Amino acid sequence: MALPGTRRRTATAALALSLLVIPTPAAATPPAATAPATSSPAPALSSVIPAPVEVTPDARQTFHLGPLTVIRTQPGSPASRQIGTHLAGELRPATGYPLPVLPIAPRALPAISLLLGANEARLGDEGYRLTVRTSGITIRANKAAGLYAGTRTLLQLLPVEIDSPTVVRRTWAVAGGGIVDFPRFTYRGAMLDEARHFHAPAEIKAYIDEISRFKINYLHLHLSDDQGWRVQIDSWPKLTQVSGGAGTGVDGVGPGFLTKAQYKDLISYAAKRFITIVPEIDMPGHVNAAQVAYPELTCDGVAPPPRTDTAVGYSSLCIGSETTYRFVEDVIRELAALTPGPYLHIGGDEARATSDADYLAFQQRVLPLVAKYGKTAYGWHDIAKSPAAANAVAQFWGTGTSEPFLVTAVAGGTKVIMSPASRSYLDMKYDPSTPLGLTWAGYIEVQTAYGWDPATRVTGIGENAILGVEAPLWSETLRNLDNIEFMAFPRLPAIAELGWSPPATHDWQSFATRLGAYGPRWTLRGVDFYRSPQVVWS
Ligand code: ACM
């Protein structure tokens, strides 16, 4: 697909302002006269993914986005202005309209209004109320994140051609009525494995753009593993000099790592889309790349050979060595300083080369270090074996429905993010014919990815223990953005809906119908999605 920044901008601020000095009512005639070349109907309010909480259609009202439409933002709110500017940038390429972003709405002009101060407690921080009338569209929210979520919904209420990268001559109707919407869970994540194959910042940004359309609000970056180390750490420079270098991907593909400047730029790019970055350094296993760069991280001081195969469970930090804790603290300190988000993910999975006693000793030292640098520790659910994980977040990645030690940890305060591998792992093949991906957690067709409930998946771990859901995408077989897109779409929206929408809305037939109607949007954006035979694609 096209990478960010390559879309054509069709309007300038000067043109926008020149239009505003001639706001005669006559000029505000709806643009129905400009013969449409295509005529897909205005999508129903109920077609949105993830399904909104409440939808109230009003057939007497229809808004037409036209050449005189303005985007009105909350006076005095830079966040509202930024969201309005972002939305205008998304609506201009297909419409060709100037869509000026203003803190006022001239009376004669139709407006899309993005207003704060909803004063509605149930909307929380991320909810919104969207109202479509013939005279205009209003999105109201308590917080900027809710306004942004409302604009994600609005994009889906415009005809699919709104995603065309070039001007489409047609009317741009939005069906009348109202939506009240807010998330079921506060954490709705996606994960990208940067270690097995490095994906460059432009590819990560393109993925951020796509996942944010489904109201995903966290992106977890898996930044180290046996094959490679993918983020600059100043106090241990050989991590990236050696293990971010040539041939460090699976099968010896490509060099790559994020410099600190690139990492910070990704954080701000994501933040503009209300996505928080969660960095992961996997330990005490999955550390071969670190040990190749620094042999003192092994117990015998001998550098292991670099590995570009996909075996797991063979490497371990030296648990009894103080060098290990100097290394871990330096990495945590530097990453915490770079990362504004609340979480620091410390891995903890598949530590098969670490004894149980050593594993517990390691977590006893390392979990408090995350808190020392002001972050909440987050790890694969194996970390919950440690009593030190009481204030941590555990990411359930099992294939089964029973995990007694995790239930015990939850009773002691540990919170859970649900990523059951046999449902939410986007790197599993859809079926035996899928050219990419793995099979160890089974085949995951779209209906399987959609057909589970986070609050009943694991016995004894209910709604109150769960912060949310995450869809991990491991990249052993995924080299480029097209590969990522093919595995993520359409399953990522399934996980997004489980995380956002109330259980009462969960319905496979409804979801499949909405997905089928969504397909042309991916096509227009150049997203390489999987045309599942379970879905009737428009
Ligand atoms: C994992 O899939 N090893 C967390």
Spell out the per-residue pLDDT of the chain, length 538, in tens: 545 444 333 333 333 434 443 333 333 334 443 444 456 789 999 999 999 999 999 999 999 999 999 999 999 999 999 999 999 999 999 999 999 999 987 888 999 999 999 999 999 999 999 999 999 999 999 999 999 999 999 999 999 999 999 999 999 999 999 999 999 999 999 999 999 999 999 999 999 999 999 999 999 999 999 999 999 999 999 999 999 999 999 998 889 999 999 999 999 999 999 999 999 999 999 999 999 999 999 999 999 999 999 999 999 999 999 999 999 999 999 999 999 999 999 999 999 999 999 999 999 999 999 999 999 999 999 999 999 999 999 999 999 999 999 999 999 999 999 999 999 999 999 999 999 999 999 999 999 999 999 999 999 999 999 999 999 999 999 999 999 999 999 999 999 999 999 999 999 999 999 999 999 999 999 999 999 999 999 9
- Ligand 1 pocket residue status of 396, Cβ below 6 Å: no
Token pair, residue 224, equals 């180290």
Atom of ligand 1 nearest to the CA of 421: 2
Which residues does residue 191 pair with via DSSP β-bridges, in sequence order? 220, 472
CA–CA dist 283, 285 (Å, integer): 5
- Provide the Cα torsion 489, 491, 494, 498; round to 10°: -130
Residues in the chain: 538
Query: CA-to-CA distance for 96 and 109, rounded, in angstroms?
Result: 17
User: Contact at 8 Å (CB) between 233 and 334?
Assistant: yes
**350 CB near ligand 1 (under 6 Å):** yes
Nearest Cα neighbor of 286 from 326, 319, 317 is 317
Q: Which of 380, 425, 475 to mutate to test the pocket of ligand 1 (most atoms within 8 A of CB)?
A: 380
In ligand 1, which atom is closest to the CA atom of 312? 3
Q: How far is the CA of 84 from the centre of ligand 1 (A)?
A: 39
Output the pLDDT for position 12: 33
Asked whether 149 and 17 are in contact (CB, 8 A), the reply is no
Ligand 1 atom at minimum distance from 347 CA: 4
| Closest C-alpha to ligand 1, atom 2 | 397
Q: Where are the CATH 3.30.379.10 domain residues in the chain?
A: 29-181
* Superfamily the domain 29-181 falls into: Chitobiase/beta-hexosaminidase domain 2-like (3.30.379.10)
Question: Is domain 187-506 annotated with CATH 3.50.50.60?
Answer: no
Query: For residue 23, what pLDDT is reported?
Result: 36
Residue 136 zone, left/alpha/beta (φ > 0; ψ -120 to 50; rest): left
Cα(351)–Cα(501) distance, integer angstroms? 35
Tokens in use for 142? 């308590």
Residue nearest to atom 1 of ligand 1 (CA): 349
Please name which of 134, 130, 182, 181 lies closest in space to residue 154, comparing C-alpha atoms: 130
Q: Is 425 in the pocket of ligand 1 (CB under 6 A)?
A: no
329 catalytic per annotation:
no
**Position 279, amino acid:** P
Query: What number does the ligand 1 atom closest to the CA of 350 have?
Result: 3
Q: Whose CA is nearest to atom 3 of ligand 1?
A: 349
CATH 3.20.20.80 domain span(s) along the chain = 187-506
Cα 279 to ligand 1 centre (Å): 15
Cα 420 to ligand 1 centroid, rounded to whole Å: 10
| Residue carrying the six token digits 């670099």 | 306
CB of 397 closer than 6 angstroms to any ligand 1 atom: yes
Nearest-angstrom CA–CA distance, 519 and 531:
8
Angstrom distance (rounded) from CA 9 to CA 136: 24
Catalytically annotated residue among 350, 445, 463, 476: 350
Pocket lining: 329 vs ligand 1, CB cutoff 6 Å: no
User: Crossing angle, helix 201-212 and helix 481-488, to 10 degrees?
Assistant: 20
Helix (H, G, I), strand (E, B) or coil at 229: strand
| Contact 161 CB / ligand 1 (< 6 Å) | no
> How close is the Cα of 397 to the center of ligand 1, in Å?
6
- What is the whole-number distance in angstroms between the Cα of residue 126 and the centre of ligand 1? 29
